[in-house]
Amino acid sequence: MRVMIIGGTSGIGLALAGHYAQQGAALALCGRDPARLDGHPIAARAGLRRYGFDIGERQAVFDAVGDFAEEGLDLLIVTAGQYAGADALVRDRMCSLPMVRTNVSGLCHAFDAGAQAMLRNGRGQMVVVASIAGLLHEYPNGSLYSASKRAAIAISDAYRKALAPHGIDVTAVVPGYVDTQKLRDLNGGSAQRKPFLQTEEQAVRRIARAIAQRDAHCIFPWQLHAMVRLFNLLPKGLQRYRKK
Strand partners, 173: 129, 218
Stretch that binds ligand NAP, among 38-46, 66-74, 175-183, 215-223 (CB under 6 A): 175-183
Q: Does 13 bind ligand NAP (CB under 6 A)?
A: yes
- 177 lines the binding site for ligand NAP (CB under 6 A): yes
| Torsion of the alpha carbons at 98, 74, 62 and 51, rounded to the nearest 10 | 70
Taking residue 147's Cβ as centre, other Cβ atoms within 10 Å add up to 17
Burial (CB count <10 Å: 0-12, 13-18, 19+), residue 119: middle
Query: Which of 56, 85, 124, 142 touches ligand NAP by CB under 6 A?
Result: 56
**Shortest Å, Cβ 237 to ligand NAP:** 27
By CB atoms closer than 10 A (0-12, 13-18, 19+), residue 122 is exposed
How far apart (Å, rounded) are the C-alpha atoms in residues 190 and 129? 22
Our finding on whether 108 is near ligand NAP (CB under 6 A) is no
Segment contacting ligand NAP (CB under 6 A): 62-70, 155-163, 172-180, 218-226?
172-180
d(CA 13, CA 19): 10
Query: Closest distance between ligand NAP and the C-beta of residue 230, in Å?
Result: 19
| The one among 80, 107, 118, 135 contacting ligand NAP by CB under 6 A | 80
Site of interaction with ligand NAP (CB under 6 A): 7, 9-13, 31-33, 36, 54-56, 79-83, 102, 106, 129, 131, 175, 177-178, 180, 182-183
